[in-house]
Structures are given as C-alpha cells and as structure tokens.
Chain A
C-alpha cells in the first residue's frame, strides 16, 4: 500500500542518497486523500529501504512499474508566511 505518490519528469528527479525537495500526494484514506505536501525527503528505488512506499508517476500520469520508498524528513511550506 503506497503512502505517497509523486509526479516526475524523469527518474533523474529522484536521486538516491541525498535529501531532496518534493511535492508528494498523501494517499492515506479519508477526506484529505490526495492532498499535497511539500517535503524534504530521502527516496530510494529499493522499495524496502525507507519506511513508506512511494508510487512514482510521470508527467502525464503514467505509473512507473517500480515502487520506490521514501522517508519524509520534514514538511516545508511553499506558501510564504504572509499569505498564511
């Protein structure tokens, strides 16, 4: 069961072994399903390396057949404080 998914242009957008900024969709069931989170995270093409499963999609929604894993380090706000 995937916890998050992410839309990317190419797999190069998901480098392993370094903290990267991503917009991920939270796939947890409920009213907030598919809400986006802006996060700093570690990702891996090894589906078991990090605690959560990550589904990868490309720019037109195509599903990548290889599940990734993800560890969210922290959430970051993309909207400046003055608008919150």
Chain B
C-alpha cells in the first residue's frame, strides 16, 4: 500500500497505467482536455511535469478512473475482477476494529515543506488551478481532494469531496449541500450560530484516503482509511485552524467557511455527464494558509461522460455500503452493484426472493438511508442473475419486470445535479425514486406458471453441457 500519491504513481507506471508528459501543458483547458479524453477512453493516468506559468508544479490526472487503477490502489493484482476488489473492500471494512490515525510532528510531514500564511497565501499566485472544461464558471482547483471539517459539539471529523472553484486569490466557493455530512454540520450548527467553520482542503491525498473520503460509510473517514490501508493514516496539525490533515498529501489549503456570505459558483461540467446545475449562490471559503510539498502535484479529476473516478469510486463504495446496510437488516441479498456508466444513478441488487415485496423493502431501505440522495433507480433481480453481468441484468429487467405492477415510484431527496429534474425540483433538492422489481411473483406455481429460462446452463443436461465444453476447441471455437 502507498503512503502517498507519489508511491502510487510509481506503482501505476510499473503496471503500465501511467503516461508521463514532459512537454508544457496549459492549465487553461489543455490539461482538462487531456484528462477528459483519458476518462472517456479508459486510458492511463497522465502525469504532466511542466505546467504553463507555474514552474515546479505538476498535474496528475484521472488518478482512479478505472477498476484496474482501483485494484492497484488497494494493493491488489491489476487484473482483479470487480467482485474480487469488492470482496477485499468488504473484508477490510466490515466487523473490524477501526484503525485510528496517528499524529506526526510537523518536521515529519512533507505537506509542510512550503508554508504560506496570511496575504502570502494567494491561491492563484501559488497553485496552478486549472480551467477543467470550457464554459466552467472558474478555475476548479479542487476536483480530486477532500475537505476536512469538525463537528463543534462532539469533535467528529469529516472528510468530504465537495468541489471548490477559485473565486479570487483568497476565496473559493462551492456547493456544500445540506444533506452531505459536512453540509449538515455547517448548515445545522455553524451557520445558525453565525460562526465561521474551519476547513482544510487536502489536494493530492494518498489514494486510499481519497477512496475513504468518497465512501459514504458511517465509520469516520480517518479510521476507514486506516482499515483499508491496514495501518494508521499519518496526520499533522494545521497551521491556522484546529484540524489535522494527512501528512503525506501534496497540498493543503486552510481557512474558514463563512456563515453569512454566499458567492456565485459554477457552472461546472458535472459527474452526470452534463452541465446541469446553473450558476448559483454557494458556500464561501476564505483562505488563511497554504502549505505544499516540494514539486507539488495537483490532482485533476475531469467530470463528464463516463468514466471518471468520481463516478467509479462513488458507484463502488455506495454499492458496497448498501450491501452492508441490507445485510445488516437481514435481507438475503446476493450482492449490490452500481454501474459507473450510470453515473451512480442505477443500483442493481441481487436477492433470494423468499417473501413477497422483498424488492420494495430493499428499495425503501436504501432510498431511506443517508445514501439515498445520490441515486434514483433500483433494479432488483433474483439470485439466479449475475449482478455484474449487464447482459443478464438487462435481460431480467426487460423480461421479468411487469410494467403495470413491477415499477414503483416514490418522492424522495435528490440532488440539484440530476439532469432530468425541473428547476423547481433542483432548488428543493427533491426528486422521484423508482424501483424496477425484476423478480417473478412468489405465488406463481414454479412448475406451471414461472417461465423457464432458456440458456445453455439451464436447458441442457449437465452431462451434455460437460461434453460440449470438453469438445469446444475441437469444434473449432476458442475457449
């Protein structure tokens, strides 16, 4: 496992998953365009060593945009299958003691190699914030990062991935949605009290910390990262706020979220693959300090049509946290899979349908959880269907789901980023949720009423299947 992004980059290079670019790249759209093409074609991560107007700075794009990269980040064989990666994630983070972080001294923290406080801490003078897409409302420095905040009452720390746009050298702005963990504390506690909320933005964390920050687990992200990594995350105290940040991160921005100031933010090319939420008044971050490593590496994720790391990792972790939730309720699921290509809007759940309306129970449980706002489609298939095989899922969906009785719609909490919502729905963060029940009714007689699946595995005797498979290459097919 990798203590920082730099070790991870070396591992990607060793696995053939890195392209090093030594010619100068412009921060004004060129770097973004490179990363976008990489995402759409599922290519290697680019490491850009020369950034126009920012000597000594580097970019690392699309850090975790494929399952192959995710496997490497988790210390697995790059060729691991999705269920294999998922099983390791579940094994490391289920029914295990939290692995608490450790605090290290400032002189052992690479992120303190360069320290700028007060007027010197000017984002645009110091950091190569990119224009990620043409038409974006500003320079999005923070696309693959997390924001550290603390609950003022109980001291609970949150790491959340909430985008941040540079407003000017001392100010950033971005949506801190009220139903997110960080948003609940800001909108529910600091803002009503009229107090600024201290924050620290961590850019270029080690890949495991990034995975933890994007995972909607009830376990604190600091501990969750330690569980995934198998050892404690090293933290160091901030310079100007009472927060701790990963000592091996590339760049730290410290400051306060102002309770009574809103600034225009957006538009931005978003994870749904659209520029949906129009420009709006959003949260204001004032910068007090910036620290970074020598030759700092700014990470860039480029949201758009699939697949970027936000889509892939949120699909991965949302699905697996739903897996844990449903099993904790005793529901006999076989697994949960979210397709990144659905921009984590579609959940596929496999279940042994042992009682009527089990699909509705599944949908109500996941839609009603804190995970619910991030997706709106649940497809429940039976235990004979491989949830990772979309051909099988699509077949079940289009043949078992009764259009009149198998589709159920609820109103729920949505995100303002859903492209299909009206402007009024976006403002209220509401949206419809839909269940596709792709299980046959239990009261159908299994002999006379349930249709028989016609497939190689189900309609031929086992001996004949074995014979055909044994002779497959002799017939002239490749195995």
Contact = CB atoms under 8 A, between A and B. Distances in A.
Contact of A78 (B131, B136, B196, B261): B261
Given A35-B169, A79-B286, A30 B53 contact: yes
B135 A79 contact: no
Contacts of A79: 171, 258, 261, 284, 286
Nearest to B171: A79
Contacts of B267: 7, 59-61
Interface string A37-71: 10000000000000000000101111100000000
A14 B28 CA distance: 27
Interface residues of B, number: 31
A34 B138 contact: yes
A79 B169 CA distance: 13
- Majority secondary structure, A binding face: loop
B260 interface: yes
B316 to A, nearest CB: 29
B341 interface: no
A37 B261 CA distance: 15
A59 B279 contact: yes
Interface string B159-170: 000000011110
A83 B261 contact: yes
B103 interface: no
A17 interface: no
B61 interface: no
Interface in A6-50: 7, 9, 23, 25, 30-37
B256 interface: yes
A61 B275 CA distance: 8
A61 B134 CA distance: 8
Interface in B203-258: 256, 258
Contacts of A83: 196, 256, 258, 261, 286
Most-contacted residue by chain B among A7, A25, A34 (CB, 10 A): A34
A59 B286 CA distance: 24
Nearest to B286: A83
A59 B166 contact: no
B276 to A, nearest CB: 8
B417 interface: no
B124 A80 contact: no
A18 B257 CA distance: 34
Given A35-B168, A61-B137, A7 B131 contact: no
B10 to A, nearest CB: 31
A83 B288 CA distance: 10
B284 A32 contact: no
A7 B286 contact: no
Given A59-B278, A61-B275, A83-B261, A31 B125 contact: yes
A63 B134 CA distance: 10
Most-contacted residue by chain B among A9, A62, A78 (CB, 10 A): A78
Contact of B138 (A25, A31, A63): A25
Contacts of A78: 261, 263
Given A60-B278, A79-B261, A36 B124 contact: no
A57 B135 contact: yes
B264 interface: yes
A30 B284 CA distance: 24
B374 to A, nearest CB: 22
Interface string B75-110: 000000000000000000000000000000000000
A37 B124 CA distance: 14
B136 to A, nearest CB: 7
B150 interface: no
A59 B426 CA distance: 14
Contact of A7 (B53, B276, B279, B284): B279
Contacts of A35: 124, 166-169
A48 B276 CA distance: 34
Closest 3 CB pairs of A and B: A61-B135, A59-B278, A35-B168
Given A25-B138, A60-B267, A83-B286, 9 more contacts: A7-B137, A7-B267, A32-B125, A32-B169, A36-B264, A60-B135, A60-B279, A79-B261, A80-B261
Interface of A: 7, 9, 23, 25, 30-37, 57, 59-63, 78-80, 83
21 contacts: A9-B279, A23-B263, A23-B264, A32-B169, A34-B138, A36-B168, A36-B171, A36-B264, A37-B168, A59-B267, A59-B278, A60-B275, A61-B134, A61-B135, A61-B137, A78-B261, A79-B286, A83-B196, A83-B256, A83-B261, A83-B286
